[in-house]
Amino acid sequence: MANAFARILKPLASLRLTVALLAMAMLLVFFGTLAQQHQGIWTVQKRYFHTLIIWGFGPPLPGGFLIGGMLLVNLLAAHATRFKLAWNRTGILLIHVGIILLLVGEIITGIFALETQMAVPQGKTVDYTFDVRRPEIAVVDTSGTNQDRVVTIPLALLRDGNVVRDANLPCEVLIEKFVANSRIAGPMQQGPGVLRLADREAGTNIGIVPLPDETDAQRVNMPAAFVSLRSGGERLGTWLVSLEFGPQPFEAGGKQYLISLRYRRHHVPYGIHLVKFTHKSYPGTDIPQEFSSQVEIVNPAQSEKREALISMNSPLRYDGKTFYQAGFADNDTTTILQVVENPGVWLPYASCALVGCGMLFHFLLMLGKFLARKAS
């Protein structure tokens, strides 16, 4: 049984496989970097690095997850078949364990890490974050006395020609056209690139111009969509929904609803209240020198209510999330917080510590042997 297991592991532990995987990793980084000239950094990350297979370039190519996973298997197989446990190999073992942790940490980060934002106006309390990379369509029933009833259509369903039917929706939603990035075209703007498909509300006078993926890391895409609504076999009309304007009304089954395109929201069981926002610029310029947010955390479930200061170099860590001061809006009356949740955040630090200790141990061991030989 042991011999059969060793025969299976031997090809996976091959040094040739290691070299081939490292070469593919270098090529992946090279072509992924070039792709950022025409695609946004988050699109490239998802399409090249956080995927098993890269599609769209003729034959399928290995993605970052596949290459990283195979490197992990290759290293573990090499330890199982070739490396022997001995005190004088402790340094090498620590280095390899550190590399394994680094690979595992990247896989965990790629799958489970979530990076969102929170916009909190002065004097207001917000209990959700939003993902600027994932838009969604929201249909809101405002007839409730105490709260609205919201049904969302996720990005995965926003495909041209897709019909969304759900028992929670008051009508069928046909995605006539979804554009990942766009700009608004006014009533008088003409041209072959202007799309005008709507006949209700804002879309009767406004069109959109599709744009390529935003490549500036400091900016985000502005998605938009043309959606047609049908209820009981009757066409209600076509709406243009965009991040550029807010919810728009429609009627279905004798009730009033609102439809909008917004960033995907992630609700949290507590609220962040902005007490005071401070913004300082360098004298004589508009360049930000320092900005910070005095916030209050309101958590009814924990009977907790306390204040915290979030500044450019001092984030707030709470509930497994890290809140960074990222920006501001609305003439300094709204703070923008970057919210990062990563269960593998400490693995790279542990990896670097293990690799450093392993290198130091191995160096001291080799130095000791060298001095012993020289003394003899």
Q: Tell me, yes or no, whether 141 and 108 share the same domain.
A: no
> Average pLDDT in the 48-74 region?
88
Which residue range forms the structural domain that includes residue 368?
2-113+346-375
Of 221, 250, 265, which residue is a domain's last? 265
Dig out the tokens for 97 from the structure.
């364990």
Question: Which residue, 226, 247, 265, sits at the end of a domain?
Answer: 265
Query: pLDDT-based confidence at 2, cuts 50/70/90?
Result: low
d(CA 284, CA 294): 26
Q: Do 159 and 221 lie in a common domain?
A: yes
Residue 315 pLDDT? 93
Same-domain status, 309 and 272: yes
Say if residues 72 and 102 touch (Cβ distance below 8 Å). Answer: no
Structure tokens at 99: 């590399």
Q: What is the mean pLDDT of residues 264-289?
A: 86
pLDDT tens per residue across span 8-43: 788 888 889 999 999 999 999 998 888 888 887 888
Residue 1 has pLDDT above 70, yes or no: no
Whether residue 133 is predicted with pLDDT greater than 70 in this model: the reply is yes
pLDDT for position 3: 67
In DSSP terms, which residues pair with 126 in a beta bridge? 272
pLDDT tops 70 at residue 333: yes
**Residue 153 pLDDT > 60:** yes
Is residue 137 located within the same domain as residue 259?
A: yes
Q: What is residue 23's predicted lDDT score, i.e. its pLDDT?
A: 94
Q: What is the C-alpha separation between 282 and 374, in angstroms, rounded?
A: 61
pLDDT band at 297 (very low <50, low <70, confident <90, very high): very high
Which segments of the chain does DSSP mark as H helices, in order? 2-12, 15-35, 41-44, 64-81, 90-112, 347-375
Q: How many domains does the chain have?
A: 3
Q: What is the pTM of this model?
A: 0.80
Q: Rounded to whole angstroms, how far apart are CA atoms 336 and 178?
A: 27
CA atoms in the 13 A half-sphere facing the CB of 195: 22
Q: Are residues 78 and 148 in the same domain?
A: no
Contact 336, 122 (CB under 8 A): no
Q: For residue 376, what pLDDT is reported? A: 74
Q: Which of 246, 265, 284 is the last residue of a domain?
A: 265
- If asked whether residues 249 and 190 sit together in one domain, one would say yes
Single-letter amino acid code for the residue at 270: Y
Average pLDDT, the chain: 88
Q: What is the mean pLDDT of residues 264-273?
A: 94
Residue 260 and residue 251: Cα distance in Å, rounded? 14
Mean of the pLDDT values across residues 295-317?
A: 91
Pair (316, 365) in one structural domain: no
Residues 56 and 148 in one domain: no
Question: pLDDT tens digits for 229-255?
Answer: 998 888 999 999 999 888 999 988 888
Structure confidence at residue 273 as a pLDDT band (50, 70, 90) = very high
Whether 121 and 206 share a structural domain: no
Whether the pLDDT of residue 170 is over 60: the answer is: yes
Residues 329 and 357 in one domain: no
Over the Cα atoms of the chain, what is R_g? 27
pLDDT at 117: 93
The verdict on 257 and 336 lying in the same domain is no
For the beta carbon of residue 140, count every other beta carbon within 10 angstroms: 18
Distance CA 49, CA 122 (A): 39
Q: 229 and 143, same structural domain?
A: yes
